[in-house]
Amino acid sequence: MHIIMFKKILSATLATLLVSWSLAGAALEVGDKAPDFKLQASDGKTYQLSDLIGRQAVVIAWYPFAFTSGCTIECKSLAENGHLLKRLEVAYFMASVDPVEKNREFAEEYEADFPLLSDPTKQAARDYEVLSLGMYAKRHTFYIGKDGNILFIDRDVRPAQSAQDMAAKLEELGVPARAAS
C-alpha cells in the first residue's frame, strides 16, 4: 500500500515539476532584451547595463572562477589583446560570481585593464541563465547591441582566443570603430 502511495506522490511531483519548467519561459536567445544588472567591478566602479546601452555595444564574458586555468587564460587574452576591442564602440567585461575583492586581485595579477564584474548574490548569473549547480557561472559570452537586445551568445568560448574572437564577432555584427579623438 505504501509503495502505491509513494508512486502516486512521485508521479504527481514529477508532473508538477515538468509543468513548472515549461512555464518558466524559454532560454535567452538572440533578439531578446538583455537582463539589466548593477554590479561592482574590479576597478572600484559599479556598472549598470541600462546606463551603458544607447551609447555603445556591450560584451559580458562570464567565467567560472578567478585564478583557475581557463579563466586565467581568458583574462590574459583580453589583457594582452584588448587593443582589438578598444578600437570598437564597445564596453567589455568579464563577469563571475566571485566577490569583488577576489576579482580585484585577479585583475591586478593579470594586468586586466578592463573591469571584472562581481555577482556574489548570483542574481545576474541567474538572469543570464549561466549559473551552474548554483555555484559558478558557465563560460558564455553575451554580445548586446546599443538597443539592449542580445546580438549573439557564444556558448563555445575559446579562452586563449577570447579577445580575437570577440573583436571578429563584433565586426561581423556591425559594431563600428570608435571615432578618432
Positions marked active-site: 71
Cα-Cα-Cα-Cα torsion 155, 161, 163, 164, nearest 10 degrees, comes to -110
* Cell numbers placing 118: 562581481
Beta strands in the chain (DSSP E): 38-41, 46-48, 57-62, 90-96, 116-118, 131-132, 136-137, 141-144, 150-154
DSSP conformation class of 177? B
In the three-class reduction of DSSP (H, G, I as helix; E, B as strand; rest coil), residue 144 is classed as strand
Residue 62 CB neighbours (<10 A):
25
143 vs 18, 76, 83, 106, 134, CA distance in Å?
31, 20, 18, 23, 23
